[in-house]
Chains A and B, each alone.
Chain A
Amino acid sequence: MDVVTLSRLQFAVTSMFHFIFVPLTLGLSVLIAYMETRYVRTGDIAWLRMTKFWGKLFLINFTLGIVTGITLEFQFGMNWAEYSRYVGDIFGAPLAIESTVAFFLESSFIGLWVFGWNKVSKKVHALSIWLVAFATNLSGLWILLANGWMQHPVGYEIRNGRAEMVDFIAMLTNPYGLLKFFHTIFSGYVIAAFFVMGISAWHLLKKRDQDLFRRSFRTAATFGLASSLLVFLVGDFHAAEVAKTQPAKFAAMESVWETQRAAPYHLLLVPDVANERNAVETVSVPKMLSFLAFHDGDAEVRGLKDFPKADRPPVLPVLAGFRGMAALGMFFMLLTLVAFILSRKDHMDSYPLFLRTMLWSLPLPYLAAQLGWIVAEVGRQPWIVYGMLRTSDAVSRSVSASQVAASLIGFTLLYGLLAVVDIYLLFKFARKGPDNDIGSMVRTARQEI
């Protein structure tokens, strides 16, 4: 394999791995902050036990997100030197701002939260987890504005042989980046909701700590319903933005070959890439695709044949990724709606089949998020910055294929090992359940007053 392929593979491995751990952090921090706030307000020790139980799982997960994040920043320079040189003037800024305004806040206050139970007042302690939640989501804003810029570059001029920033505000208000931000954080909230519901379901099936896990389930069900609706709604606007700004990606997402007005939506579709057509197109809804893309049933949708072959993304992964993600998204709305209704009156215990479904659905939002990133990043190909810079022109010139092969193997082994350990620990502490040592809880609580 050549340097470009290896470098892409390495970026895919390291960023997809990073994104196993980050989205849970986005949502679970908010849920834990809510739980601790309830404890501070009511003094009810059950909320404190919930905070500590979910907090422990949060930290095991959080660490891997943190340590794998540095890799991504360094890789831009290490593997994508030509990219960094060409767009660093504008792309470097959001990364530097991300660490200045978000990472410092997140890392400083997580330390205070973990070690500060007996050192600061209850209110300050709860505030520190709110700040962590805020900072985590804020870091998402900056990195997704950066990614949004790669998808739809704005606010720059090509000068001195590179892209230079001329309008910072344009980058901050890039609709592509903002839609991507909301779509991504809501997907993280869905992941957190399913994480909490899934583990709570397991304990409810075992009839352990039922009060605590019913509360956890109920909280997560409400959060999950709201976020699965929002992620779908924002996703709809996001897809429309893609149709407008990245027509080739949109054509690949729906496997549209011919440019057409009033394009129908084919529920069943099998592409035949070699012959530039679809082998099967059936169960069709007239005008639906045009409506989804432009919110106008008669609008024109551009087909892949409109683009030179060298400018088309690979169709299969983008199409399959998009359909898989969208189908899962609908499934999440259905499941969270049922969960919400059942949990209102704590009826979920009466439906073990439902609880088992929730347990086994735990990995699905993770899958949906990974599929979404495949659509976003593979769909942008062959560009690293859409329409501006090709991925093949962006790679480091001084790095050899054997170096990247070695580092790719190194990352795969190290990350594989860390994943095994981390998932083992998550299982271990998720099964163990909340701490029953009320003595230590009360002591902690007293010392806080």
Chain B
Amino acid sequence: MEYQVLWFVLWGLLWAVYFMLDGFDFGTGMLQRLLSRSNTEKRIIINTIGPVWDGNEVWLITAGGATFAAFPAAYALMFSYLYSPLLIILFALIIRGVAFEFRGKGGTVAWERAWDTAIFFGSFIPSLLFGVAFGNLFQGLPMDESGYHGTLLSLLNPYGLLTGALFVLLFLEHGALWLALKTDGELAQRAERLSGRIWIVLFVVAVLFLIHTAFATKLYANFMNTPLWFIVPVAGAASLGAVRIYSTFRNYGRAFIASCVTIVMIVFTGIIGLYPNLMPSSIAPDHSLTIFNASSGIYTLKVMTAVVLLFVPVVIAYQIWIYRIFRSRVTDREIEDNREAY
């Protein structure tokens, strides 16, 4: 396999894993106020992601770094063309990160409420805008030899917004399942009930997304040429169905894993559809950035492949180990016992 193709797959994988992991952090952050009935419950909710959100966010930094190292031309154009939405995402992520740390340290109710609001928007805005950004990437950006012709508002087109809504709902469902798994008592029951309701809306939006994709993008062309690839979106749909089935049997561990698979499969449906483009142009196909005209030299790709093959398995191993250490449900007794808890 060519190195560019390998790196395209890795690139997709980094984004998929990022959304799979930070996705439930975002969902948890969006649901914190809605699901809680007391300050202790609010604390329990953020403490379920306390040990892991930071490690999850590093997948984003790595996805960005990998884009830079492997596809510098795409990194340059993608990040400068999408300047405003990325800026807003950055601000939101910054606010979310400090909110977790600062929330419990002020000592007044108003202080806690302010940071709860920050947690909500710091989780909702990136979910929406990452969706909008990927939706627009799937459609292609209005770019030609003279540069980029879009604006922040032109990104908020129907398909972009639909993809944004899809991301928000995927992460809400993911977060609700996470909380059903990681909390106990009434709080967990509330999360279970809500996950069932979100699922219905998510299902409708996912169907709309798959239909609209046929009209708004050229993603399905690759699937038509090689129908075997349809296995990926079908797996996505099946795992979304599995979320429902496992939830019915109240097996939220399996439901959560199914939700992970759904997210990864949806991202890869887009990745397969994009190939060989990284950034298609919607107005001048000749000016699309492909994995071949945007990539680094083979030497760099080889170096980076060696680094990834050596270190990413180690990263995955210790992250799984840490998830296992924190596998039990977070209870009120536990956060009262740990003074370092959020």
A residues apposed to B, CB below 8 Å: 52, 55-56, 59-60, 63-64, 66-71, 73-74, 76-79, 81-85, 87-93, 95-101, 103-105, 107-112, 114-120, 159-160, 162, 164-166, 168, 396-399, 403, 407, 410, 414, 418, 421-422, 425, 428-429, 435, 437, 440, 443-444
11 contacts between A and B (CB under 8 A): A60-B105, A63-B101, A84-B76, A104-B62, A104-B315, A107-B58, A111-B50, A115-B338, A118-B337, A165-B299, A414-B94
| CB of B215 closer than 8 Å to a CB of A | no
Contact with A along B143-175 (1 / 0, CB 8 A): 000011000000000000000000000000000
> In the complex the two chains form, is B55's CB within 8 Å of A111's CB?
yes
| CB of B237 closer than 8 Å to a CB of A | no
> In the complex the two chains form, is A111's CB within 8 Å of B299's CB?
no
The dominant DSSP class at the B interface is helix
Nearest-neighbour CB distance to chain B for A417, whole angstroms, equals 10
B residues apposed to A, CB below 8 Å: 47, 50-55, 57-58, 60-62, 64-70, 72-73, 75-81, 83-84, 86-87, 90-91, 93-95, 97-98, 100-102, 105-106, 147-148, 296-297, 299-300, 303-304, 307-308, 311-312, 315, 318-319, 322, 325-326, 334, 337-341
Residues of A within 8 A of B311 (CB): 100-101
Q: CA A235 – CA B299 in complex, angstroms?
A: 34
> In the complex the two chains form, is A425's CB within 8 Å of B102's CB?
yes
In the A-B complex, list the 9 residue pairs whose CB atoms are closest, starting with the nearest: A88-B72, A77-B79, A92-B69, A96-B65, A92-B68, A111-B51, A396-B80, A81-B80, A81-B76
Closest partner residue, chain B, to A160 (CB atom): B297
Given contacts A104-B62, A165-B299, contact A115 B87 (CB under 8 A): no
Among the interface residues A69, A88, A95, A119, which one has the most CB atoms of the partner chain B within 10 A?
A88
> In the complex the two chains form, is A73's CB within 8 Å of B75's CB?
no
Q: Which of A56, A79, A111 contacts B52 (CB 8 A)?
A: A111
Q: CA A109 – CA B78 in complex, angstroms?
A: 32
Closest partner residue, chain A, to B295 (CB atom): A89
Given contacts A77-B68, A81-B76, contact A96 B326 (CB under 8 A): no
The dominant DSSP class at the A interface is helix
Q: Which of B65, B80, B90, B303 contacts A398 (CB 8 A)?
A: B80
Given contacts A92-B65, A111-B50, A165-B300, contact A403 B105 (CB under 8 A): no
Closest partner residue, chain B, to A69 (CB atom): B61
Q: Which of A71, A81, A429 contacts B90 (CB 8 A)?
A: A71
> In the complex the two chains form, is A407's CB within 8 Å of B87's CB?
yes
Q: Which of A68, A96, A397 contacts B68 (CB 8 A)?
A: A96
Residues of A within 8 A of B312 (CB): 100
> In the complex the two chains form, is A443's CB within 8 Å of B337's CB?
yes
Q: CA A68 – CA B57 in complex, angstroms?
A: 13
Q: Which of B69, B91, B106, B339 contacts A88 (CB 8 A)?
A: B69
> In the complex the two chains form, is B51's CB within 8 Å of A116's CB?
yes
Nearest-neighbour CB distance to chain B for A121, whole angstroms, equals 11
Q: Please give 18 more A-B residue pairs, beta carbons under 8 A apart, in addition to A67-B97, A96-B304.
A: A63-B98, A63-B102, A67-B93, A70-B57, A70-B61, A74-B90, A77-B80, A78-B86, A82-B76, A88-B76, A96-B69, A100-B62, A101-B311, A108-B315, A114-B51, A118-B334, A164-B296, A396-B80
Nearest-neighbour CB distance to chain A for B95, whole angstroms, equals 8
Residues of B within 8 A of A396 (CB): 76, 80, 83
> In the complex the two chains form, is A115's CB within 8 Å of B86's CB?
no
Q: CA A109 – CA B326 in complex, angstroms?
A: 12
Given contacts A59-B101, A115-B341, A398-B148, contact A96 B307 (CB under 8 A): yes
Nearest-neighbour CB distance to chain A for B291, whole angstroms, equals 14
Residues of A within 8 A of B299 (CB): 164-166, 168
Nearest-neighbour CB distance to chain A for B108, whole angstroms, equals 12
Among the interface residues A70, A87, A443, which one has the most CB atoms of the partner chain B within 10 A?
A70
Nearest-neighbour CB distance to chain B for A418, whole angstroms, equals 6
> In the complex the two chains form, is A64's CB within 8 Å of B338's CB?
no
Residues of B within 8 A of A56 (CB): 340
Residues of B within 8 A of A435 (CB): 339
Residues of A within 8 A of B91 (CB): 410, 414
> In the complex the two chains form, is A112's CB within 8 Å of B80's CB?
no
> In the complex the two chains form, is A64's CB within 8 Å of B98's CB?
yes
> In the complex the two chains form, is B55's CB within 8 Å of A95's CB?
no
